[in-house]
Structure 1
Amino acid sequence: MYIKGVILNIATMGFLDIPGLGKAHYHEYGTGTKPMLAFHGYGMTGRQFHVLENSILQEYHVYGFDHFFHGDSKLGDWTEEQIVAGMPKPMVKAYLEEWFNIYGRQRFSVMGYSIGANIALLLIEEYADLIDEVVLMAPDGLSVYKGFHFLTFKKVGQYLFKRVTKSKWLAPTLLKNLKKLKFIDDSLYTIAYNEIDTEQKRQDVYYTLNLIRLLKPDTNKVAEMINRHNIKCRLIFGKHDNLFPMKAALPFIGKLNNPQVYEVDMGHWLVTKQLDEYLVNLQQ
C-alpha cells in the first residue's frame, strides 16, 4: 500500500464507493513509490498489469481498477436503459475524487490498455496539472474505431448488437466471419470467443461496451494538456494489432511535442512478460 511516500510491499485491494455509480474495485501492487492509476482491457481485471514486474512496477505502485461487469466492481442500481444510454463523462472524475478522499490529493500517473486507455485519457483532460506520466498500450480512444461506433451508436448496429448477444449461435458466427475477413487475428478470435461462450458473458459484453460508449476523450485537448504540462508520454503498439494499430493513432502522435512511441513485434495482446522484457531492455 502507498500512502504519501510510504510503501508497503504487499498486494492489497479495496473499493471506491462512487456516488451515483457504484463500487469500483481496485488492486494495489508494485514495489515503486510513485502512484499510478491503471485501467485494463476487456475481459481482464485491474490485476492485468502485474506481469510488468521488472519494468513499470519497479517505478510505480499501481492502483488497478476493475471495469464494471469485470472482477469485483459492482454497478449501482442502474436499469438496462441507463446502461445502454451510457455512463456520462463527468462520472470519470468521481473515480479520482474518491481516490483523493482516501489517499490525499497528490501527483500521480495513469496507464491504460485497449479500452482502458479511454479512462486514462479522460483523466488527463481533467487533471493534467497533477499527472507526471501516461503509459498507453494498444490504446482505444485516439481515433474512432468504426466497429465499436457502429455497434453502440448506429441504430442498425445497436439492434444487431443486442440480437447477437441474446443468441447462442449469432455471436460465434459473426466472430468466425470477422476472422475470415481478417478484421481480427487468431489470438483476438480466441480471446473474443472465450468471452461469448455463455449467456452471462454475452450480456457483459453488451453492457460493458454500451456503458463506456460516451467515454471518448477529446484528443485535441488531451494533446494540448500533455504538451502544456510536459507530461511524459509512452505509447506502445503491436505491429500486428488489427484492432488499435499505430497508424490509426498517428494524427494524435503528431500533435505531441516529445512522445516516446514504440511498435513491438506483437499483436493486440500486449500486456505480457514479453512486453515487460522489452521495456526493461529499453532502459539498458
Structure 2
Amino acid sequence: MGFLDLPGLGKAHYHEYGSGSKPMLAFHGYGMTGKQFHVLEKSVLTKYHVYGFDHFFHGESKLSGWAENKITAGMPKTMVKAYVEEWFKKHGRQRFSVMGYSIGANIALLLVEEYADLIDDIILMAPDGLSTYKGFHFLLHQPIGRFFFRQVTKSKWLAPSLLNNLKKTGFIDASLHQIAYNEIDTPQKRQDVYYTLNLIRLLKPDAVKIAGLINQHHINCTLIFGKDDNLFPKTAAEPFINMLDDADVHEVPLGHWLVVKQLDEYLVNLPA
C-alpha cells in the first residue's frame, strides 16, 4: 500500500498485490476500492503486479482543497496524467499496463490516450467510457438532470424510489439494485455518490482516438462483458470493438457485477 501526492488533487491511495512481474495500474468500480481485483488471483494476478487505486470518495484517497462547486464542475482530463507521472517518480519511467472496471475504465482509457507508446496491455471489464450512457449523461450534463441528481442525493426516499423504478423497467437487475441500494442508505453515502460521479463527469475518453492508438502501438486489448449487464453491455461497445484490429472480446454469463471468482475461473480456463 502507499500514497501518491497528485498535484492539484490530493492523496491517491493504492493497494499492491499480484505475483506477476509486469506493472499494472488498475481502477475499480463504484463503491469498491483498489483491492477489488484481488479475486482474479489465478488469472490476472499471476501475470501482473497490480497497483490498485482508490477513487476519491472511496477507501483512503482524499481530495485536498476542493469545495463542492469545484467538485461538481468536474476534474479536468489533464489531471489524470498525474497518476502516472507521480507513479513514475516512485518507480521509474517504464512500460506498464492498465485495467479498469465500470467507471474505472474511463481513467484506464484516458491513460491510453496519453501513454499509448508505453502501454503493453489494457483489460477492461463492463467498461464505461466506450459509448454515451444516456442515464449518466442526463444526470451529469443536462441542467434538469443535474438539478434532479442533487435533489435525489438530499432525499431519503427519492433515491430508493428511483432505483426501484430502474429495476422494474429492466435498466438494472436485482443484484445491481441491491448493490446500489447499499450505497445510498445514508446521507453520507448519497453525498459520496453525488461527489464521485460529478468529479469524473469530464473524464470522457475519445474512443476513436484510443482505438487508433491501440492498433498503432499493438496494445493487447481484452474486453470483458456480462451477458446480463444492462448498464454497460457489449452491444453499446460494438462500434469501438469494430475499430480494433485484434481485440480479445469475451461475454460471460454474469451481470454488471463482474469482478468475482466466477470471472477468475472463466479467464484461467480459457484455451491457451
Question: TM-score category by the smaller chain?
Answer: over 0.9
- Superposed CA offset, 1:85-116 (max 9, x none): 00000000011000000000000000000000
- Superposed CA offset, 1:182-213 (max 9, x none): 11110110000000000000000000000000
How far 1:254 moved relative to its partner? Answer: 0.3
1:165 to 129, 153, 159: 153
**177-186 or 83-92, which deviates more:** 177-186
1:71 to 56, 59, 62: 59
Q: Could you tell me how far apart the structure 1 residues matched to 2:82 and 2:163 are?
A: 36
Partner amino acid for 2:14?
Answer: Y
In structure 2, what is the equivalent of residue 143 of structure 1? Answer: 131
In structure 2, what is the equivalent of residue 251 of structure 1? Answer: 239
Partner amino acid for 1:270?
Answer: L
The SS at the match of 2:15 is strand
Q: Could you tell me how far apart the structure 1 residues matched to 2:164 and 2:258 are?
A: 23
Cα 1:223–1:146 change in 2 (3 A) is same
In structure 1, what is the equivalent of residue 37 of structure 2? Answer: 49
**Counterparts of residues 214-225 of structure 1 (less than 5 Å):** 214-225=202-213
1:206 to 180, 191, 194: 194
How far 1:214 moved relative to its partner? Answer: 0.2
In structure 2, what is the equivalent of residue 25 of structure 1? Answer: 13
Q: Could you tell me how far apart the structure 2 residues matched to 1:30 and 1:60 are?
A: 6
Q: Could you tell me how far apart the structure 2 residues matched to 1:90 and 1:22 are?
A: 15
Identity of aligned residues (%): 75
The SS at the match of 1:23 is strand
Q: Could you tell me how far apart the structure 2 residues matched to 1:272 and 1:234 are?
A: 17
- Pairs aligned (count): 272
- 1:128 aligned to 2:120? no
In structure 2, what is the equivalent of residue 93 of structure 1? Answer: 81
The SS at the match of 2:269 is helix
- Superposed CA offset, 1:117-147 (max 9, x none): 0000000000000000000000000000011
- 1:62 aligned to 2:50? yes
Q: Could you tell me how far apart the structure 2 residues matched to 1:75 and 1:282 are?
A: 40
Return structure 1 stretches of 4+ with deviation > 6 angstroms: none
Partner amino acid for 1:236?
Answer: I
Partner amino acid for 2:88?
Answer: F
- Superposed CA offset, 1:213-249 (max 9, x none): 0000000110000000000000000000000000000
Partner amino acid for 2:3?
Answer: F
In structure 2, what is the equivalent of residue 36 of structure 1? Answer: 24
TM-score (normalizing by structure 2): 0.99
Q: Could you tell me how far apart the structure 2 residues matched to 1:22 and 1:43 are?
A: 19
Q: Could you tell me how far apart the structure 1 residues matched to 2:156 and 2:106 are?
A: 30
TM-score (normalizing by structure 1): 0.95
Gaps of 5+ in 1: 1-12
In structure 2, what is the equivalent of residue 3 of structure 1? Answer: none
In structure 2, what is the equivalent of residue 272 of structure 1? Answer: 260
- Superposed CA offset, 1:44-99 (max 9, x none): 00000000000000000000000000000001110100000000000000110000
In structure 1, what is the equivalent of residue 100 of structure 2? Answer: 112
How far 1:275 moved relative to its partner? Answer: 0.2
- Superposed CA offset, 1:149-184 (max 9, x none): 000000000000000000011100111111111111
How far 1:283 moved relative to its partner? Answer: 4.2
How far 1:250 moved relative to its partner? Answer: 0.2
The SS at the match of 2:93 is coil
The SS at the match of 1:233 is strand
**Counterparts of residues 174-189 of structure 1 (less than 5 Å):** 174-189=162-177
The SS at the match of 1:84 is helix
Partner amino acid for 1:215?
Answer: L
What's the RMSD between the two structures over aligned residues?
0.5
Q: Could you tell me how far apart the structure 2 residues matched to 1:45 and 1:149 are?
A: 24
Q: Could you tell me how far apart the structure 1 residues matched to 2:211 and 2:84 are?
A: 20
Partner amino acid for 2:24?
Answer: M
